[in-house]
Structure 1
């Protein structure tokens, strides 16, 4: 950083948003706060592509932690990753949030539900055939019903989103 360049500071609104994203992911996914802060910052940062050094500076997180977090957020074998990295971890690489990446990521996650539903259904059928008590099967039965519902409903939800997006009504 040049001597005449002031360190980047988050505005109160930016800081509030970043902290809310971090807390959301902590409470819902057990994601460490610093990782959630990186996600939150990348959702609103300007410019959209940030170097690891910029992210570390603005969030007040050590560069080594940023490298570890970015490595987790940009898995090499994930075709629907929400983030993309340009450059290697040994240089001041950049990271950006892929445009329109949330829907494909969610679609990828939910596309696995029918397979898991089949596993749950087969397990439930097998345990019932063996005469397992209904009280014992309650957890699996509840999960199987949920997975059946989500497996049936999610394609229609995603299709409605795509239609709205095509009509310019969704982001």
Structure 2
């Protein structure tokens, strides 16, 4: 890995950390974006990124569960990984599912507030409106993204 590639990999590690993942997740994902060949064995990844094979295996499984990377088919028993197209879209959809659950909880909260309690209802209603707007806007954004992506190809 040349110095600029190494800096890119490290910067993505910091970004992933800010997004709630680990630095190694970001570094692994970044390396898989730019490496050649595009699929890499756990051993190669561990050596290139300077982490243990055990740690690399754990991080690769975590990224695989999020839909960001996948195991590449191989005739050997080794595990090889590569970036999945649409991984960030999948991550966003998972996050939106949590936001939708928040709407359900806020609806329950509104049903639990009985009697004349306008201040409490107002706070809940504003919070619910925010989450409803977020879901609607994110759904529309993902649709625009798909059109943009398809048009760019």
The bucket for the TM-score relative to the shorter chain is 0.7 to 0.9
Which residue is 1:17 aligned to? 8
Aligned positions, number: 151
Rounded to whole Å, the distance in 2 between the matches of 1:66 and 1:50 is: 12
SS of aligned partner of 1:96:
strand
Rounded to whole Å, the distance in 2 between the matches of 1:167 and 1:127 is: 47
Q: TM-score scaled by structure 1?
A: 0.73
Task: Return 5+ residue gaps in structure 1 as ranges.
Answer: 1-9
Cα distance, 1:11 vs. partner? Answer: 1.4
Q: TM-score scaled by structure 2?
A: 0.80
Give deviations 1:34-90, integer Å, cap 9, x for gaps: 222112212222211011011011101111111111122223xx6xx12111479xx
Poorly superposed stretches of 4+, deviation over 3 Å = 130-138, 140-143
| CA root-mean-square deviation | 2.8
SS of aligned partner of 1:144:
helix
- Residue 156 in structure 1 maps to residue 147 in structure 2: no
Q: Select which of 17, 24, 29 maps to 1:26.
A: 17
Task: Return 5+ residue gaps in structure 2 as ranges.
Answer: none
- Residue 102 in structure 1 maps to residue 88 in structure 2: yes
Rounded to whole Å, the distance in 1 between the matches of 2:73 and 2:57 is: 12
